[in-house]
Chains A and B, each alone.
Chain A
Amino acid sequence: MKLYNLGRVSWWESQCYYHALSYLGREGLIICSPTSAYVCLGLHDDLKSEIAVDYCQKKNIPLLRRETGGGVVYLDSNQVFYQMVLRRDNPLLPLQRGRFYPYFLKPAILTYRKLGIPAQLHAPADITVKGRKCSGNAAGDIGESVAYVGNILLDFDYERMSRVLRIPCPEVQPFLNWSMQLYMTTIKDWLDYIPGYQEIAGMLVEGFSQTLGELYPAELDLEVIEVAAKLYTKLTGSKWLSLPGRKQQQRRIKIAEGVYLEEDAQMEERSTFALNDNGEVMATFSFTDKSLYQLQQIMSQT
C-alpha cells in the first residue's frame, strides 16, 4: 500500500486528501497533522444542534463536514491523524465495516504501548487507557472506497472543545469540560514530555507495516491535489455544512463510547444535566440551586 506521510498540513488538507483518494478509488495510508485548529462534523451531525456557530466564528475556528460517521470533533496541531483508504472490493475489508476496527486500530494501540501507555481497544472504535478515551475513530463509504480515520491525542484543549459544542446555557460548560477531562486522556497525561510528530508518525508507520505489509512512500500527485481542492470547497460550503442531520429531543453530548452528558428527560426542569456512563448516572448538574458549589465539590473529589 502507498504511504503518504504528509507531516504538517493545513487544517483542510488534513481532511480532504483522504476524501480525494477515496473518490479516485486509490488505496493509501495517510499520516498527517493539522497546523491549526478546526471543528469537524460527522456526516449526519446537525450543525445548529451541535455547534456553537457564533463562538466558532468569533474565534475564527473553521468548520468542515467529513463524509465519515461519528460525532463532532475539535481537531488541532496536538493531534496526529492516521487515515486509511481501501477500495470496497479489497478482500481485507469485512462486509461488516465495524469488524475492521481492531485491525485498523492495532498500530495506534501499539504506538501508545511503545510509549509505555497501557492503551487498549474499547469496541467498537475507541482506544482507551484505564477506561479513559485517548483516540477517536470513524469510517464511511466514500465513492467506491471505504475510509477509516483516527487520531492520536498528544494533548487536548478541553476548554476550547467545551465552548465549541452547543449547550443550552453557559452554566453547563464547566460541567462539560469536567466530564471530558474525567473520561478522556492524552499522551501528555502519561509522559513527562510530548513526543513530536515524527516520533509518533514513525511508530504508526512501523505498526501499519506490521499489519498491512510493505508500505511504499509516495507523494501526492496533481490529480489528488486538484480533487482535494474541489472537495475543500464542497466540505466547507455553507449548503453542505447546513445539511439536515440527527435531531435531538434533549441535548445529548457523547464524551466517549457509552458515556454521555445529557439533559434529564425524567425531570421537569430542562436545566438538569446528567453524566451517564453506560446507564449509570455518575453526576448530575442543576443550576436552579447551589449546583455550581456542588459541581466544584464533585470535581475536587475526582
Chain B
Amino acid sequence: MQVEGYNIPEDFFYDTNNYWIKVNNDEAIIGISAYGQSTIGDVLYVDTIDKGNYIKKLEDAGSVEAGKWVGRIIVPISGTILEKNGAVIKEPGLLNSDPYGKGWILRLQINEKNELNELMDAKAYAKWVQEQVAKEQEDEMLI
C-alpha cells in the first residue's frame, strides 16, 4: 500500500524505529522502511555486527551515517545474525534507492517468536506513518 507517498508492503511487520521485518519460517530479514530512509536522508555509511553474533531485541547491531548525523541500527527482534548484507555495506545508497529489496540490512535466526506479536502489521504501521508525517508538519511550524 502507499501512504503519504511511501510504499508499505503488506506482508511485512514494522516497528516504531521504522524497521521492516520479513518473516520466513524461523528466519527474518530486516531493513529500514521507505518512510524511515526518507527521515534520515542520503545514507553514506552502514556497518553491522558480524554473522554468528546473538543480539537481543532493541540492542545495537550497527550504525548508519547520513549527512551530518550518525544513528544506531536497533534490531526489532532477538536473534542470531545469519548474514549481513555486504552489498549495502559496500554501497550504502541502496538503503535509499531500494529499501525493501537490495537495501536489506540483516538476516536473523529468530530466537523469540512471540516478539513478533509486539510488532505492527502494515495497516497499523501505515496509520503510525500518517501520524508521524502530521507531527513533522507541526515541527516545521515550530522551526
23 contacts between A and B (CB under 8 A): A43-B70, A44-B44, A44-B65, A68-B69, A69-B65, A69-B67, A94-B139, A95-B135, A95-B136, A96-B38, A96-B39, A98-B41, A99-B143, A100-B143, A101-B68, A102-B143, A124-B41, A124-B67, A125-B68, A138-B69, A245-B45, A246-B44, A246-B45
Where the two chains meet, the residues of A that have a C-beta atom closer than 8 Å to any C-beta of B are 42-44, 67-70, 92, 94-103, 124-125, 137-141, 244-246
A268–B68 CA distance with the chains assembled, in angstroms = 33
- For B82, list chain A residues within 8 Å (CB): none
A98–B71 CA distance with the chains assembled, in angstroms = 12
Q: Does B47 contact A (CB under 8 A)?
A: yes
- For A67, list chain B residues within 8 Å (CB): 70
Interface of chain B residues 87 through 143 with chain A (CB within 8 A): 132, 135-136, 139-140, 142-143
**Closest B residue by C-beta to A68:** B70
Q: A96-B38, A124-B67 are in contact. List 15 more A-B contacts (CB 8 A).
A: A43-B63, A43-B65, A43-B70, A69-B67, A69-B69, A92-B139, A95-B132, A96-B41, A98-B68, A102-B143, A103-B143, A139-B69, A139-B70, A245-B45, A246-B44
**Closest B residue by C-beta to A150:** B68
Q: Is the CB of A97 within 8 A of B40?
A: yes
> Could you tell me the distance in whole angstroms from the C-beta of B110 to the nearest C-beta in chain A?
26
**Closest B residue by C-beta to A96:** B39
Q: Is the CB of A44 within 8 A of B63?
A: yes
Where the two chains meet, the residues of B that have a C-beta atom closer than 8 Å to any C-beta of A are 38-41, 44-45, 47, 63, 65-72, 132, 135-136, 139-140, 142-143
- For B135, list chain A residues within 8 Å (CB): 95
Interface of A is mostly: loop
> Could you tell me the distance in whole angstroms from the C-beta of B37 to the nearest C-beta in chain A?
11
A42–B71 CA distance with the chains assembled, in angstroms = 12
Q: Is the CB of A97 within 8 A of B71?
A: yes
A94–B63 CA distance with the chains assembled, in angstroms = 19
- For A100, list chain B residues within 8 Å (CB): 143
> Could you tell me the distance in whole angstroms from the C-beta of B127 to the nearest C-beta in chain A?
16
Q: Is the CB of A124 within 8 A of B47?
A: no
A69–B44 CA distance with the chains assembled, in angstroms = 10
A59–B133 CA distance with the chains assembled, in angstroms = 51
A154–B71 CA distance with the chains assembled, in angstroms = 30
A102–B132 CA distance with the chains assembled, in angstroms = 20
**Shortest 5 CB-CB distances between A and B: which pairs?**
A140-B70, A69-B70, A125-B68, A97-B69, A141-B71
Q: Given A44-B47, A103-B143, A244-B47: A98 and B69 within 8 A (CB)?
A: yes
> Could you tell me the distance in whole angstroms from the C-beta of A143 to the nearest C-beta in chain B?
9
Q: Is the CB of B70 within 8 A of A42?
A: yes
A98–B65 CA distance with the chains assembled, in angstroms = 12
**Closest B residue by C-beta to A97:** B69
A68–B66 CA distance with the chains assembled, in angstroms = 11
> Could you tell me the distance in whole angstroms from the C-beta of A296 to the nearest C-beta in chain B?
35
Q: Given A102-B143, A244-B47: A94 and B136 within 8 A (CB)?
A: yes
Q: Given A92-B142, A94-B139, A100-B143: A69 and B132 within 8 A (CB)?
A: no
